[in-house]
């Protein structure tokens, strides 16, 4: 009954109550895959990622072909302190998955974010580009690639190319645009931010080239 109650509360999105029910199951020596999995899912939903990782890992040891379970385990690791382990599980998710290209593209994006968080910038870039191959219609993914070149790879020319591709996706008709927070608590359109950033990069590149082309004053 505790297990059923926990599951019904999980379905009802009452994750706190679900956790209490499943934790009671654990205290009664319930080691079933079902309890581990949904207790882990519930902790994931409440953003207690380290606890989610502990139970999802136990569940995955019993069901190593479950793509969704592996995916949430990878995210739980990445969102907590187990960054490198998160990369391993997200990589395993890619191996296991045979879903739509859109879903697999999202997995690659999370894999890229995990690598970025672990300072593996080139590996992250490869994952972003693979995600773009799978889903070239994801406009925010284009922004992520441009931003990655800009902020982490430090290749301003490539960043500018992808920012320009992103700007071409700007809707002509008036409709709500995706927004992003910027320092100072301000929220702006991605397109407005990129428009300003492109101007900054062009100026940076201009002065770099001016400095490079300037004649030496040494005799």
193-206 per-position pLDDT tens digit: 999 999 999 999 98
**75 domain residue, yes or no:** yes
pLDDT in tens, 38-68: 999 999 999 999 999 999 999 999 999 999 9
131 vs 178, higher pLDDT: 131
**73 domain residue, yes or no:** yes
Q: How many angstroms separate the CA atoms of 126 and 98, rounded?
A: 20
**115 domain residue, yes or no:** no
Reported as a pLDDT band with limits 50, 70 and 90, residue 110 is very high
Boundaries of domain holding 10 = 1-97
**139 domain residue, yes or no:** no
**This prediction's pTM:** 0.81
Number of domains in the chain: 1
Q: What is the pLDDT of residue 178?
A: 74
Length of the chain as a residue count: 219
Q: How many angstroms separate the CA atoms of 175 and 171, rounded?
A: 8
- CATH number (domain holding residue 1): 1.25.40.10
Compute the average pLDDT of residues 118-147.
Answer: 97
Compute the average pLDDT of residues 149-159.
Answer: 97
**138 domain residue, yes or no:** no
Judge whether residue 216 has pLDDT over 80. no
Using alpha carbons, list the distances in angstroms from residue 39 to 19, 35, 54, 65, 161: 6, 6, 10, 19, 45
Minimum mean pLDDT among 70-74, 80-84, 137-141, 213-217: which range? 213-217
The string over 22-58, giving b where at least 16 C-beta atoms fall within 10 Å of a residue's C-beta and e elsewhere, is bbebeeeebeeebbbbbbbbbbbbeebbebbbbbbbb
CB 62 within 8 A of CB 30: no
**57 domain residue, yes or no:** yes
């Amino acid at each position: 009954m505790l297990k059923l109650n926990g599951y019904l509360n999980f379905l009802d999105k009452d994750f706190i109550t679900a956790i209490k029910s499943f934790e009671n199951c654990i205290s009664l020596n319930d080691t079933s895959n079902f309890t581990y999995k949904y207790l882990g899912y519930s902790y994931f939903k409440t953003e207690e990622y380290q606890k989610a990782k502990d139970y999802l890992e136990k569940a995955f040891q019993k069901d190593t072909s479950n793509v969704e379970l592996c995916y949430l385990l990878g995210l739980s690791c990445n969102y907590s302190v187990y960054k490198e382990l998160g990369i391993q599980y997200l990589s395993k998710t890619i191996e296991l998955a045979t879903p739509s290209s859109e879903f697999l593209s999202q997995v690659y994006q999370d894999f890229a974010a995990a690598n970025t968080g672990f300072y593996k910038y080139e590996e992250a870039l490869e994952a972003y580009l693979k995600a773009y191959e799978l889903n070239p219609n994801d406009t925010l993914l284009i922004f992520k690639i441009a931003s990655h070149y800009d902020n982490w790879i430090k290749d301003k020319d490539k960043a500018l190319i992808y920012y320009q591709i992103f700007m071409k996706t700007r809707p002509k008709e008036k409709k709500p645009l995706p927004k992003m927070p910027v320092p100072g608590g301000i929220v702006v359109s991605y397109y407005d931010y990129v428009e300003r950033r492109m101007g900054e990069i062009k100026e940076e590149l201009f002065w770099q080239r001016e400095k490079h082309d300037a004649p030496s004053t040494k005799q």
